[in-house]
Every structure is written in structure tokens, then in C-alpha cells.
Amino acid sequence: MSKTWLKSAKVFSNIFSPHHLCLIMVLLWAICGVMPLPYFAFLRWVPIVQLIILIVLTIVYPVVSIHLYRRMNRWPATALCKRENRYMPYLLTLLSYITCQILFHFLYAPFPLLVLLNIAVITIFLCYIINFLWKISAYMAGCGAFVGVIFAIGFSGLANGVNMLWLICLSLLISGALGTIRLIFHVHSLAQVLIGFLVGLISSWLGLLTIACYLL
């Protein structure tokens, strides 16, 4: 296997890291017209503040805190592949996303964004609980939630005339590529990849269901 292919695979994995999926989904929702950008709540600076908070609390803080946690324990990067070393990273990420969700409630964030964070929190929580018994792929859990949300938008009629078929196909293609990369790198077994994707898919529907029950 060539070094160029390995580097490309790592770059691809980093782009579609679970920490980046919230931001990617916000951009997709803007394209589909589900959450128009710029979104003006009551002041022009609100969308900018929300975007900064989203990036800090869903990307910067989890990544930096997990890196510092690993350095404090003097672990190599591969140490987080072990199930027993993943509890704190999951917990740090979960607390960060919950904090983001609470702040967005006070900042009158767009409702679709609150739904997205609700799904993310449920996904991370389920991964954290399952990790006590078995290791699953967090990458694929994120992909499952990603695919589930896109399917939900497509079938709910919220896409405002946008053809969602290409987005559904693209999300499935990205998920398949990520799952293949995790298998090639021997980070996860096939069962861990498939169950991770299923957990994310279920989380997306649970998140949407809880919001629907709240609105009724």
C-alpha cells in the first residue's frame, strides 16, 4: 500500500472526523435551505457568535482536551484505540456538546441547529454507555447520525425543493469509505464498524423523535 494512499486516507478521515460533522451538517442544511445563512435572530452578530461557539465547543475544545488528556497520561496516539482509554474522551466530548446545546438555547439558535445538537448528544451518550461493554467505531456512529439526518430531511419535505438523492448517495459513499479505511487500518473490526453506524442511525431517529414529542 503506497504512502500517498495512506496519507490521503488519513486526510479523508480527519476531514470527516466525528468532531467536524456538526459543522458539515450546518453547511449542508444551509445549502438545502433548512437553515438559511445568514440567520438573523434579533441582532446581526448573533449568527457569528453562534458559529464561533459551535466551532469552539464541538471541534476545538474536544480535540484539544482529548489531546491534553492523552499527553498527561503519556500515551501514544494509538492508545485511544483501546476501549478502556476511551471513557474520558467520550465524557469530555459529551460535556462540551451539552454545554453548546445549553448556550444555544439562550442565544435563540435556529431550531434545526438545536435538533442537530440533540442528535449529537444522544449519539455520544450511547457510544459512552456502550463503551463500558464493547468498543464501537465513533467515526461510524457519527456517519450513521449524518446519514439518518439527511434521510430525515429528504423524507420530511424540509429540503425546499433541493434534490436530496445526491446528498443521500454522497453520505452513504462517505460512510462506506470511512468504514473501509477503519478496517484497512485495523482500528476496528467489521462488527464494530457496522454496529457503530447502526448506533448513529438509531440516535438520529431518537433525537428527531424526542424533538417531535416535545413539540406535540
Mean pLDDT of 103-132: 88
- What's the pLDDT score for residue 162? 64
- What's the pLDDT score for residue 40? 42
- What's the pLDDT score for residue 126? 94
What confidence tens digit (pLDDT) does each residue in 8-18 have?
888 888 888 88
CA-to-CA distance for 7 and 1, rounded, in angstroms? 11
- Please check whether residue 149 is in contact with residue 116, taking contact to mean a CB–CB distance below 8 angstroms: yes
What confidence tens digit (pLDDT) does each residue in 131-184 have?
999 999 999 999 999 898 888 776 665 556 666 778 888 889 999 999 999 888
Q: Which pTM does this prediction carry?
A: 0.86
- What's the pLDDT score for residue 38? 47
Exposure string (b/e) for 173-206, b if CB count within 10 Å is 16 or more? Answer: ebbeebbebbeeeebbeeebbbbbbebbbbbbbb
- What's the pLDDT score for residue 198? 95
What confidence tens digit (pLDDT) does each residue in 27-75 have?
776 666 555 544 444 444 457 788 888 899 999 999 999 999 999 998 8
Reading the block at residue 91, the C-alpha cell is: 465524557
- What's the pLDDT score for residue 211? 62
Q: Is 125 exposed, middle or buried (0-12, 13-18, 19+ CB in 10 A)?
A: middle
Q: Is 128 exposed, middle or buried (0-12, 13-18, 19+ CB in 10 A)?
A: middle
